[in-house]
A = this chain, B = another copy of it.
């Protein structure tokens, strides 16, 4: 029997976890928990069952790790500490500013239940954070840059959709090539928000809507667009579905640093992701860390962890010998 995974929440992320589990032969999907009517949910794994989220606690001895696939705004701050009372839990909490308080809540719940919780797993936070940490430790005298994209920002797409006269919208965040190039060349530029990223919107407007007004509202929207150079394209629904139905994303974490007695040598460390599906990649990271959660708890460890606290070997199905022979 493999590591028994539960999925709590069956949206894009939950479905991504389900398909990622199929790629990991040491794991099996035990159950999906939903706030919807369990009868209404069709899942892709015939051997797994669907339950109401209200029945989750009863399954404490049937699930080794519960992957909490809710949203960061309102779901995870409640769900992750709540289910840490019964399960090893893992989430992709991504509200950077609120990580300290989320960590504390999950840590307390895990310590009283004897479980492991791993929070903020994914790519940012997650793999990008790891690469920031490693690069900072190697090059203490240096500067960090993170660029996002090209990719779909759900938050910005939603903001455009809320404008009167907009039927549908997709917003792409795009790194500015010249800024990326300057960073890669070790020039250590000070970049404004506008110099780092541009924003591109594809908008389906209602018939007869005032497109000039919509474009103006987008470009001047505070926080979301006003600090950026934004391009707006009006398209029809057919083109939206044909060309913009994916959820690609990605980005770049770069540290530029100096070594030598007089800082005479420059080094560039770059980590980048180019992802066809943001939720499926995030899910794949979650599943790898679910393996770590299971093992750490088996060893008797408890409490909240992040990607910083977990030795990479815990993520792998390979033995130490195999890893050293084939990957080192």
CB-based contact A127/B134 at 8 Å: yes
Given contacts A140-B24, A270-B271, A312-B308, contact A103 B259 (CB under 8 A): no
The interface residues of chain B lying within 8 Å CB-to-CB of A23 are: 140-141, 259
Closest to A315 in B: B137
Given contacts A309-B313, A312-B308, contact A288 B138 (CB under 8 A): yes
The interface residues of chain B lying within 8 Å CB-to-CB of A325 are: 99-100
CB-based contact B130/A315 at 8 Å: no
Kindly name the residue among A44, A96, A100, A328 whose own CB sees the greatest number of chain B CB atoms within 10 A: A328
Of B138, B261, B285, B291, the residue contacting A284 (CB under 8 A) is B138
A27–chain B nearest beta-carbon distance, Å: 11
Kindly name the residue among A129, A276, A315 whose own CB sees the greatest number of chain B CB atoms within 10 A: A276
A293–chain B nearest beta-carbon distance, Å: 13
A98–chain B nearest beta-carbon distance, Å: 11
CB-based contact A306/B324 at 8 Å: yes
A164–chain B nearest beta-carbon distance, Å: 34
- Which residues of chain A (103-136) have a CB below 8 Å from chain B? 103, 120, 125, 127, 129-134, 136
The interface residues of chain B lying within 8 Å CB-to-CB of A138 are: 127, 281, 284-285, 288, 315
Counting chain A residues whose Cβ lies within 8 A of the other chain, the interface size class is 35 or more
Stretch in A14-22, A212-220, A226-234 with 4+ CB within 8 Å of B: A14-22
CB-based contact B327/A274 at 8 Å: no
Of B130, B268, B309, the residue contacting A320 (CB under 8 A) is B309
Of B264, B266, B271, B311, the residue contacting A310 (CB under 8 A) is B311
Any B CB within 8 A of the CB of A237: no
CB-based contact A274/B315 at 8 Å: no
A249–chain B nearest beta-carbon distance, Å: 10
Q: Is the interface of A mostly helix, strand, loop or mixed?
A: helix
CB-based contact A125/B328 at 8 Å: yes
The interface residues of chain B lying within 8 Å CB-to-CB of A139 are: 284
Of B16, B259, B308, the residue contacting A280 (CB under 8 A) is B259
Any B CB within 8 A of the CB of A260: yes
A12–chain B nearest beta-carbon distance, Å: 12
Any B CB within 8 A of the CB of A240: no
The interface residues of chain B lying within 8 Å CB-to-CB of A100 are: 321, 324-325
Any B CB within 8 A of the CB of A157: no
Given contacts A308-B312, A311-B308, A312-B308, contact A134 B140 (CB under 8 A): no
Any B CB within 8 A of the CB of A154: no
CB-based contact A267/B274 at 8 Å: yes
- Which residues of chain A (243-289) have a CB below 8 Å from chain B? 259-261, 264-277, 280-281, 283-285, 288
A-B contact pairs, 18 of them (CB 8 A): A16-B259, A23-B140, A23-B141, A99-B328, A103-B324, A125-B328, A127-B134, A129-B327, A129-B328, A132-B327, A137-B312, A139-B284, A259-B283, A260-B280, A265-B277, A272-B272, A308-B311, A308-B320
Known pairs A44-B261, A137-B312, A271-B272; list 8 more (Cβ under 8 Å): A23-B140, A127-B134, A127-B138, A129-B327, A133-B313, A259-B280, A265-B277, A309-B313
